[in-house]
Structure 1
Amino acid sequence: MSLVIGLTGGIGSGKSTASQWFEKKGIAVVDADIVAREIVLPGQPALKEIKETFGEWTIQNDGYLNRQALRSYIFQHVKARKQLEEITHPKIRASIIEQLNSTQSSYSILVSPLLFETEQHLLTDRTLLIDCTEAIQISRAVQRDHQSLEQIKKIIVAQMTRIEKQKRADDIVLNETSPDDLFSQLCPLHEKYLVLAHQA
């Protein structure tokens, strides 16, 4: 496995914009959110377990997971959230490790909004936090996701605080203005990671 950089940040922080920039530089990106969707596709063991644990209502008529219904349910039931994590997290982790092991680029990026919360940072050599104020997070997320202000705030509360993430991250990029400003901060980090990868 090559050098792995864990990239994280709260909702609306600009993780995707940052990870796409790294991809354009030829860096392999493994996205924990995409992996989380893949492991609950029809025919996957996790989907069967979710149905057995929570009931038929979790599956849509087309056989796919009813994400919206399940998301709403786990926000209202703390115990249910833990049950879901026990089903999905080990499978997500196994798939992430498999994908990171198969990359060919100088170093790899593991993008995960819950990098620290799920201990996925233990799969990385270094962590990068894309950070911004909560007000900017909310503004971006409301515009992008078409979710209510209340839903966005619930997601932010469920995630680790900015302060805690800042304490844990090795590198921090403040993304509060333009994409160009974000990219100008990522450039030296990319060069730094190439050097570290070469030394590894």
Structure 2
Amino acid sequence: MQEKLVSYPLYPLKHCRNILVLSYLSLSNSYGYSFLRTQSTFTFILEFINFTKSTMFIIGLTGGISTGKSTVSQMFKELGCPIVDADVIAREVVEPGTKGWEKIRKTFGEDVFHDDGHLNREKLGQLIFADSDKRVALNKITHPEIQKVMMWKLFMLFAKGHQFAILDTPLLFESNKMVPYMAYTIVISCTPEQQLSRLQARNKLSEDDAMQRINSQMSLDEKCRLATFVIDNSGDIANTRQQVLEIHKKLCSSRRHWKLRIVLLSVIIVFVSVIGYLVAR
């Protein structure tokens, strides 16, 4: 396991701004938009504090295609870590009838769908990995939808008081939009030969097709350079599990979330003071 002493900045003001917005949305969705008009400001503040009484930090888990990210994610899950899986969400946002499904049908046509209306992932994959413009077009459709669901799931974990959550996403560094919110990042690595053979075996691809998919992502070396932790998944499963256990121990002993709690408490105090001033007027 490779570990670096540096970690990503948390941008606390941006973090707190998003928490305020998401708290408002959560309350609005739960109680109806009339909530703020029918309840007192003091009640709203109590509800807000109830939602924001603890703050967690987020760890980004990523890797190259077929390096073993899903295996490591499952190991963290078995240790009790809350996981937000972008691959699972990516399937949810293109289910028949969703906004993403409708946009893909409009952009790519009927040929990338099965007769029952579900997305034909194999056909769509062949299309986008052979044409970078079409890959960009697909990402513009799916990424905003995926990010909205991810943020919501992270917020619900935050509301439950978790110390941290793991965001399992294959394109963390490629999209770069979520990186500023990560306290730490973990990259799963293996040898290029292993990556190629695993991808060919898993997806039943030719060498050329497999290399095309590997080369469509940021290089594994570059991802490892950007990561806080690198898990070497080129050995046996026991070795990988040992590296996961070591990182899990470090994450559980981290007090990084307390810094966020202090910042958030300061924001709440300012918020309450402003509301009090406005009411007093």
Fold shared by both chains (TM-score > 0.5) = yes
Where does structure 2 lack aligned partners over 5 or more consecutive residues? 1-54, 259-281
The answer to whether the aligner puts 1:113 opposite 2:167 as a matched pair is no
Counterpart residue identity of residue 165, structure 1: K
Contact 2:60 2:172 in 1 (8 A): yes
1:128-170: CA deviation from partner (whole Å, max 9, x where unpaired): 0111111011122223332322222111101111221122101
3-state SS, counterpart of residue 177 of structure 1: coil
The answer to whether the aligner puts 1:22 opposite 2:76 as a matched pair is yes
The match for 1:185 among 227, 243, 252 is 243
Shift of 1:46: 0.6
Larger displacement relative to structure 2 (66-75 or 137-146): 137-146
Shift of 1:107: 1.6
Larger displacement relative to structure 2 (72-81 or 15-24): 72-81
User: What's the TM-score once normalised by structure 1's chain length?
Assistant: 0.93
1:20-77: CA deviation from partner (whole Å, max 9, x where unpaired): 0110111111111111111000110011011111212222210111212211112232
Which has a greater percent of helix? 2
The answer to whether the aligner puts 1:2 opposite 2:59 as a matched pair is no
Identity %: 36
3-state SS, counterpart of residue 135 of structure 1: helix
Number of positions where the alignment pairs a residue of Structure 1 with one of Structure 2: 200
Partner of 1:165: 223
Q: Give the alignment's Cα RMSD to 1 decimal.
A: 1.6
Contact 1:3 1:197 in 2 (8 A): no
Instruction: Give matches, 1:19-168, under 5 Å.
Output: 19-103=73-157, 104=160, 105-119=162-176, 120-168=178-226
Shift of 1:197: 5.1
Question: Within 2, Cα distance between the matches of 1:80 and 1:88?
Answer: 12
Where does structure 1 lack aligned partners over 5 or more consecutive residues? none
Question: Within 1, Cα distance between the matches of 2:217 and 2:245?
Answer: 28
The answer to whether the aligner puts 1:11 opposite 2:75 as a matched pair is no
Shift of 1:2: 1.8
Counterpart residue identity of residue 191, structure 1: K
Question: Within 1, Cα distance between the matches of 2:234 and 2:255?
Answer: 29
User: What's the TM-score once normalised by structure 2's chain length?
Assistant: 0.67
Partner of 1:174: 232
